Structure 1
């Protein structure tokens, strides 16, 4: 080893050579592999950063919001000066979580990058470049090199300037998925059929009839996106997470952001529930910060918060106490389960992807309180 050169000649490969194989459980379907659970203390992330002088911290917004619940004390115990970059992925990051990351964890010196990509894209497609891209809390900012995004209307019309609709990509790029193993037709139908000529950002899962489990169909979840006047892209969540309340389209991500801006709320998830007059109404699950108690007065405070941030049309009809939210082992919120609980469905289907199935029983119990 001592006689070896300090320089290592790189191995030149084609840009399309396989780099890795990703196994993903997602928020639907059965997971491919299971991890071994561990139960560390709430400062474990910060302990690891200090011990190993971590320079880059990449996590999910859900994890950030969970850590926010415990305040700043667990962070103050550790030296995080080694950190240079922080980034999030998996879901849109709300403004409050972004600012907490930037101000508290990064001490106002580390950029917080909201990155958008999929298993299928092979890498980042929308992402800021550290120290080069001016940041906006909650925005995935601009396309990466070689990526040409577009926003389409329901009828497939490409929208210019400030717009909101379906996120698609106009041309291929190195590293993107080429097929589904042994089922190329499914690959074409999933990503290229709805909007011919575009790659459609969407997830597909197998949905079984909740009563009989006999007939199954593949359902697409399409990514919603907004482009602002500066050309910055904001992932608004899946299109199916858009709510139509009295003819007004509301983004669940926007409502959740307003909920978590209340000082008592650590985390929130919003789903739709049928309403005889409005078509749909907002059913909100909130996880409170330690030391805060759920009460009627707090519910009214939270409703007022949303009303002031977004408008009267976004006032939640139901706010339910959720000591914890149903999540996969990779930390994604299972909104399907939340919708079923909100609608009082008895048969919740396949729950094998849940990290803690007991959460569902607790939520069902609290649902009765919310409904009352």
Structure 2
């Protein structure tokens, strides 16, 4: 990769500076000083972070690194749920709301920490009653309901390894994950609600377990009235078995390196990868980042819009917030039903103070216009955060001005299923640079390098890598350890995220996009995110995706797929305007040769555009694993 491949334009950087009181009152304080202290003694830093959770037995060593495998908090014993619930009940938060939930039809539930503890213990006892033991895998296939959280925590209580499968997946994707994990039990709901319609989940489960011999029981959370019939000998009612049990359950003593959960993430080819996370390091990493990155305080009402079926939901809906004793808001509602004002209404009604969402949602709101959030009082908001893909500068500006009302810091987080926790961001109180996620958080050593592992010059593109282990790193890929090793051997002895990035002269890092999203045009490497950001910066464009299409002369031509904002009609004249706009923004080499108007783009449920699906359709090829597609 050379300097001419791609680089950040050399315009004067633009920054937004938060009110100085944010830094004064933040948990992190002076980022630079804390980061220097971390670099001076990384193991001491992570020892101090581990002191913020409770251990049944203290650990002997902080870390043991045998490339490419790492063990953290050796011989330490704990249970994640005692840290998520029990200690808060003991420490004066028994009657504090742990979970607020709102259903799509307006139903509401609230659980205090003491109520959550009773429900988790009773359901844990119910799981033990049907034979679930430490180390057994349990598949959870549910919509965003409190029972999903209860099921996850109940598994962790008794040492069972949960594998949560997003409730929008179909039979094949669910069957794949059940079979690969060898799950003994499947926990589901009869239906989920989406845009006013009931989506039947139980029939999907019934079909998915036909060729899954490991499954011994199906537990059904019945939501419909009258309740759906449980006709199979292995089907049990969620609340019937819960209500028969004691609401006290001794937590299983877990070694720090015992697996906590298994979560599947899609690959570009083949079957999805089962990422393994361990109890101790994951608890330390998510507790630390929720507190110090999202700056959660005791009186916050926190809402992360992710589904618990994804890693963001695991780390920053369930475990991280509850480890900090937060009040978590959950909802089944989609951002545009019954109208595009519903999320802003919920923020107003529940007094949400910390709001964490995805760029794809922000761009959808940009498309329908700021008159929707302008209808609602959003003054409760204190911090905004973004996750899932790069937050392009135009979306940053809209989020900052129209939702944060020019006063809320934006925490743009970069991390992965594999990392388990935040890795790069702009810490609360630090200057924000639109388009740049920020700097490595204290505890993380990140850099941008070439294929030889050498740091590239500031302003030039390279591969985003992590140079040193961290506690919440994945331990392996289930049944595929060789795939795990590739993360550390693609570029020798560096964790390679397969993302391209640029580091500015100020140390801030811009994530360009996946390395496999590069388009080589006439010998030049063009990042898809670079062209897409240019398209979205045009007033007519809400979202964009670009792919490379084979060309006999240039190697590839660029084809763009765009969704227009409301009020703009597709025309040939607009296509010409968009091509010229890209030319002037990025350069002639990046101009799309073809532009196609779309109503929607193929995305994962976490909001990432699946460009390979567009490319496969364009070239008449097999798109590979599409189990994580939203639609």
Per the shorter chain, which TM-score range? Answer: 0.7 to 0.9
Decide whether the 8 Å contact of 1:16 with 1:174 is kept in 2: no
Distance in 2, Cα, partners of 1:342 & 1:271? 9
Specify whether residues 182 and 246 from structure 1 end up closer, same or farther in structure 2 by C-alpha distance, changes over 3 A only.
closer
How far is the alpha carbon of 1:158 from its aligned partner? 3.3
Structure 2 CA distance, aligned partners of 1:280 and 1:183? 34
Matches within 5 A, 1:333-344: 333-343=609-619
What CA deviation, in whole Å up to 9, does each residue of 1:61-96 have, x standing for no partner?
Answer: 111111111001111111111111111111111110
2:426 is the alignment partner of 1:186: no
Confirm or deny: 8 A CA contact 2:425 2:439 kept in the other structure.
yes
- 1:292-323 deviation line (CA, Å, top 9, x unaligned): 11001010111111111111111110100011
Larger helix fraction of residues:
2
Q: How far 1:185 moved relative to its partner?
A: 3.0
TM-score normalised per structure 2: 0.49
Match of 1:108 among 386, 406, 419: 406
Q: Structure 1 CA distance, aligned partners of 2:442 and 2:273?
A: 32
> Which residue pairs with 1:365 in the alignment?
none
Change (3 A) 1:310 1:46: same
Cα offset, 1:18, TM superposition: 7.3
**Match for residue 137 of structure 1?**
434
Contact 1:170 1:199 survives alignment (8 Å)? yes
In structure 2, C-alpha distance between the alignment counterparts of 1:57 and 1:107, rounded to whole Å: 14
Per the alignment, do residues 17 and 248 of structure 1 end up closer, same or farther by CA in structure 2, a change over 3 Å counting?
same
The number of residue pairs the alignment matches comes to 328
Counterpart residue number, 1:211: none
Aligned equivalents of 1:34, 1:6: Cα separation in 2: 30
Give the secondary structure class of the aligned counterpart of 2:261. coil
- 1:234 corresponding residue in structure 2: 510
Which of 353, 367, 371 aligns to 2:628? It is: 353
CA distance in 2, matches of 1:293, 1:337: 25
Which residue does the alignment assign to 2:364? Answer: 66
1:82 alignment counterpart: 380
| Matched position secondary structure for 1:158 | coil
Give 1:37 deviation, angstroms. 8.4
- Separation in structure 2 between the aligned mates of residue 68 and residue 24 of structure 1, nearest angstrom: 31
Partners of 1:42 and 1:166 in 2: CA distance: 37
Q: Is the 8 A contact 2:266 2:627 kept in 1?
A: no
Q: Take 1:75 and 1:37, find their aligned partners in 2: how far apart are those partners?
A: 16
Higher Rg: 2
Aligned partner of 2:391 in structure 1 is 93
| Structure-to-structure mapping, 1:236-251, within 5 angstroms | 236-251=512-527
Q: Which runs of 5+ in 1 are unaligned?
A: 202-221, 357-372
Q: CA–CA distance in 1 between the matches of 2:451 and 2:353?
A: 42
CA RMSD of aligned residues (A): 2.9
| 1:278 alignment partner, one of 543, 551, 554 | 554
SS at match of 2:396: helix
The answer on 1:146 being equivalent to 2:443 is: yes
Does the C-alpha gap of structure 1 residues 16 and 64 become closer, same or farther in structure 2, counting only changes over 3 Å? farther
Q: Conserved in 1, the CA contact under 8 Å of 2:364 and 2:542?
A: yes
CA distance in 2, matches of 1:151, 1:51: 43
SS where residue 119 of structure 1 aligns? Answer: coil
Question: What is the CA deviation profile of residues 21-60 of structure 1, one whole-angstrom value per residue up to 9, with x for unaligned ones?
Answer: 3635547556999898864421121111111111111111
Q: 1:348 offset after TM fit, Å?
A: 4.6
How far residue 334 of structure 1 moved from its aligned partner, in angstroms, is 1.7
Quickly say closer, same or farther: Cα 1:16–1:8, change in 2 above 3 A.
Answer: farther
Q: Provide the secondary structure at the position in 2 that maps to 1:240.
A: helix
User: Structure 2 regions of 5+ residues with no counterpart?
Assistant: 1-88, 95-252, 275-307, 311-331
Question: Over residues 304-354 of structure 1, what are the superposed CA-to-partner deviations in whole Å (9 max), with x where a residue is unaligned?
Answer: 1111111111111010001111123333222111112333x1655554433
Cross-structure match for 1:23: 263
Deviation at 1:20, TM superposition (A): 5.9
**Displacement of 1:127 after TM fit?**
1.1
Residue number in structure 1 paired with 2:462: 165
Report if the CA contact (8 A) 2:415-2:424 is conserved: yes
Give the conservation status (yes or no) of the 8 Å contact 1:25–1:330. Answer: no
Deviation readout 1:213-243 (Å, 9 max, x if unpaired): xxxxxxxxx1111101111111010111121
Tell me the TM-score normalised to structure 1 length: 0.80
Of residues 152, 155, 169, the one that matches 2:452 is 155
Q: Is the contact between residue 266 and residue 288 of structure 1 (CA under 8 Å) also seen in structure 2?
A: yes
Q: How far, CA to CA, are the matches of 1:93 and 1:21 in structure 2? A: 29
Q: In structure 1, how many angstroms separate the alpha carbons of the residues matched to 2:507 and 2:481?
A: 34
Q: Distance in 2 between matches of 1:291 and 1:102?
A: 23
Cα pair 1:26 1:328 within 8 Å, conserved: no
Query: Is 2:584 the counterpart of 1:308?
Result: yes
* Change in CA separation of 1:110 and 1:17 when aligned onto 2, cut-off 3 Å: farther
**Aligned position for 2:196:** none
* Alpha-carbon distance in structure 2 between the residues aligned to 1:142 and 1:114: 10
- Structure 1 contact 26–332 (Cα < 8 Å) conserved: no
Give the conservation status (yes or no) of the 8 Å contact 2:273–2:478.
no
Structure 2: how far apart are the matches of 1:333 and 1:61?
Answer: 11
Selected match of 1:321 from 582, 597, 600: 597
Match of residue 263, structure 1, among 524, 529, 539: 539
